[in-house]
Homo-oligomer: A and B are copies of this chain.
């Protein structure tokens, strides 16, 4: 789980100011257990700071992504969702029902990557894995 204060720290460490609307977005993201769209984040952020504008949500999400605190989550239907991210390389499991997002770290793809590299001639630099299913609650 991502704490609000650690987010705030990452923020100020980069020289960004900690304003009220940004705090509101930080709070929402820190509490989010699922991938949220900018619009959803906006709606929730307004509970903490009613004047928060959607524009600022976008801007803050950009900054958070830059800090590595948030990751863009892609789904079949589009790529309009952001989820809290722990440090380092990680992947997501996404619930098809409630859109809850959980991260997992192990990616034992070394074997597979080697094989693909050999067969396709590509030099593989990055990979991207996302799992879809049902979370314990929705089963």
- Chain A residues at the B interface, C-beta cutoff of 8 Å: 72, 74, 76, 78-79, 93, 95-96, 102, 104, 106-109, 111-113, 115-117, 119-136, 139
A106–B115 touching, CB < 8 Å: yes
Could you say how many copies of this chain the assembly holds? Answer: 2
A134–B128 touching, CB < 8 Å: no
B122–A128 touching, CB < 8 Å: no
Given contacts A79-B74, A120-B102, A131-B116, contact A96 B125 (CB under 8 A): yes
Given contacts A74-B74, A78-B79, A131-B113, contact A122 B136 (CB under 8 A): yes
Interface centre among A95, A130, A139 (most CB of B within 10 A): A130
B112–A108 touching, CB < 8 Å: yes
Which B residues are in CB contact (< 8 Å) with A126? 131-133
Considering the chains assembled together, what is the distance between the CA atoms of A134 and B124 in angstroms?
6
Considering the chains assembled together, what is the distance between the CA atoms of A125 and B127 in angstroms?
20
Least distance between A119 CB and chain B CB atoms (Å): 7
Which B residues are in CB contact (< 8 Å) with A119? 104
